[in-house]
Amino acid sequence: MEMRSCVPGHPVSDQAINEDFPRFVEEIRKRLWVGADSYGDGSFSKDPVELLNEIENELLDVAGWGFITFCRIRELKKKLEAVKNTLDKFTNL
């Protein structure tokens, strides 16, 4: 795998790609092995329409988790704003 050194302009991306992407690929590999152990090689011969339906359902799940995360972040932001306001009151005494 090609490893690049940090180039001015995107050192965070370079670090993430060099350090985190191999771990990401390893997690995918683990999931593929779990799937192979659970379901065998059926996905390689599955009807394309059935496969597309499964992919569509997985994407809907991911989108749903995105919405849940969005809602949780909004709540965290509200709580953080309340903490900030409380701290501002004490620092402005």
- The DSSP symbol for 5 reads -
Burial 58-76 (b: 16+ CB within 10 A, else e): eeeeeeeeeeeeeeeeeee
Per residue in 32-82, pLDDT (tens digit) is 999 999 999 998 999 999 999 999 999 999 999 999 999 999 999 999 999
pTM (predicted TM-score): 0.61
CB 44 within 8 A of CB 35: no
C-alpha 28/C-alpha 47 separation (Å) is 23
